[in-house]
Amino acid sequence: MRAKSLSFISAACIAALCTTSFAYTISGTVSDEEGKAIKDASVSLLKEGKTATTDDQGKFTIHEDEIVTPPDSPDVAIHPAFRNSVGYVSINNGILSYSQSSTQPVQVKIFNSLGNQIFKKTLQGSGTYDLSKGIKAQGTYFAQVSVGSAMQKFKFTTNGSYGGSLGMHAGSLMKDAQAGEAIRFIAEGFDTLTVQLGTLDTTLDVKLKKIEPPAPTFKFGYALKNDPTPSKGCGTTSKLQKTKSVENGDRFELRVGSENREYFLTLPKNYDNKKPYKLLFAMHCMGSNAEDFVHHSPDQDHPSPYYGQQKLDTKGEFIFVSPRGDTDGMPWSVSSDKDHKFINQLLTTLEENYCIDTSRVFMTGFSFGAMVTNSMAQDMQDRLRAVAVYATADYNIYLPKNKGLPIAWMAVHGKNDGTCQYNRARDSALKRILKNNGKADADGNFTDASAEKPKEVGGSGHLCYDFTTVDERFPVKFCSWNGPHQWTAFDNGNWQNTWVPEEVHKFFDQF
């Protein structure tokens, strides 16, 4: 026997559905990874061809109005919603009521807003069913009711007490998402995000990731705060054999030409061969030696290891190395490039055996150690990022031809220095650095900044002057104080109150 036609909606419900109602609503918010709302983001529902723009709070809404045609309309062939009516269903206070006159069962399925089925029941005749076991949270749901091949879909909303209903009080027809439907979010300065949709009725809270601008490139040098540049030794175990261990480090020898050169090395306590470390060379002065700058009884020349920088390396970011000159008298060559060959070969050896950030190699030294540091700064600009010199001089040291490239440079000098003339440091060493460190021109070539004069300490205390006409990637700082030939400059008290290590640490830390 042919099943009778089912009346899914009562007359009152038909009247209600003959007006315009939302077929679907997609809403949500768009923010960045820190939760800050993104205004004016473009939101596009791709298959439907609908778009929206986020407001000041990052909120958006996309919806579609659907006109439901009465069953006696001549357009019913175009809008067959009522031909497929399969029964009457309502939901009130968590109770599903149903009725149908067919001998075939009514199949009821309920889905949440994400398209996940949460309820399925086969119903006969008429009656009620308690949904509280299946629907526990308030929100938007979809019901699919079918008899045989006839099927109808509706949406309804619960408010926690199941006050919503399907039928007379709910009413809008749910539109199926097309295959491959997706929603796309586009905002200036952020990566485009596309989210696949299984339903056209949902709420989305999305976070967009900021586009990381490509790292700037330069004709020479690195950007400030550039990413580390790992050396060849990253991820490998050192093959260097120490000759002995000393307090706070190990002693090694390196064959350079026909000579064995000595150096000392101190690694961070928790050295990790996969993490690139900064490297600091500490160059010793006349009358001292390399081991003195690894461990030494405190005095005005050795307040703590490596010119006070190891004590300030609280995060364990540095590898420290102290090379030894030829003698303890005038330790560094005054007539040849032998020390340059030593330091270049030593740096290569360290980079091949340890994980070093090749873009953050520094050097510092006092007196003769400052002279050789300043000498290295003339032709190792491609390997040394910055240097700090204490009481430097332009005599009694080998000075190679300057490559004409910039290097970050800091100097500390006492105005009453009777060993290394203050005026020579200010008027010769400083000016030679400034000549290469002027701001780059349109072609990326550095200009001459030597016309700028430093401000100097007048009365007591000290003054550190930061040059303004230099390229910001190659800063120059000149510190003067009213003291003698001593690197542990101080304003009050004695050398234990020196401000130099802190100033140098800050200078190196800006890169």
Q: Stretch 269-283: mean pLDDT, rounded? A: 98
What is the C-alpha to C-alpha distance for residues 3 and 103, in angstroms, rounded to an integer? 7
- Whether the per-residue pLDDT at 465 is higher than 90: the answer is yes
Rounded CA-CA distance 10/14 in Å is: 6
Q: How confident is the model at residue 99 (pLDDT cuts 50, 70, 90)?
A: low
Q: Which two tokens stand for residue 8?
A: 């899914």
3-state helix vs strand vs coil in the chain, percent to 5:
15, 30, 55
If pLDDT is split at 50, 70 and 90, which confidence band does 23 have?
low
Query: Residue 217: pLDDT band by 50, 70, 90 thresholds?
Result: confident
Can you tell me the mean pLDDT for 253-275?
97
The residues facing 143 across adjacent strands are 110, 154
Locus of tokens 């998402």: 177
Q: Is the pLDDT of residue 73 over 50?
A: no
Q: What are the DSSP calls for 361-394, one per residue? A: EEEEEETHHHHHHHHHHHH-TTT-SEEEEES--S
Range scoring the smallest mean pLDDT among 87-96, 149-158, 176-185: 87-96
Phi and psi for 216 in degrees, rounded to 5?
-65, 145
Chain centroid to CA 239: how far?
34
Q: Is it the case that residue 68 has pLDDT exceeding 50?
A: no
pLDDT at 72 over 80: no
pLDDT for residue 290 is more than 80:
yes
pLDDT of amino acid 187:
97
pLDDT digits (tens, 9 = 90+) for 384-439: 999 999 999 988 899 999 999 999 999 999 999 999 999 999 999 999 999 999 99
Q: Which domains does the chain have, with CATH numbers?
A: 11-208 (2.60.40.3080), 244-509 (3.40.50.1820)
Beta strands in 436-489 (DSSP E): 462-466, 476-481
Q: Please give the pLDDT value at position 353.
A: 98
- Measured CA angle at 505 (ends 502, 506), to 5 deg: 90
Residue-level pLDDT at 149: 64
Q: Assign 274 a pLDDT band (cuts: 50, 70, 90).
A: very high
Q: How confident is the model at residue 78 (pLDDT cuts 50, 70, 90)?
A: very low
Name the residue with higher pLDDT: 171 or 235: 235
Q: Is the pLDDT of residue 169 over 90?
A: no
DSSP states along 177-231: PPTT-EEEEE-TTB--EEEE-S-SSEEEEEEEPBPPPPPP--SSS--TTPPP-B-
Kindly tell me if the per-residue pLDDT of 172 is higher than 90: no
DSSP per residue, 19-67: SEEEEEEEEEEEEETTS-B-TT-EEEETTTTEEEE--TTSEEEEEEEEE
Q: What is the mean pLDDT of the chain?
A: 85
What is the per-residue pLDDT across 115-127, written as a single tens digit (0 to 9) for each? 788 888 887 767 7
Direct distance between the N- and C-terminal alpha carbons of the chain, in angstroms, rounded to an integer = 88
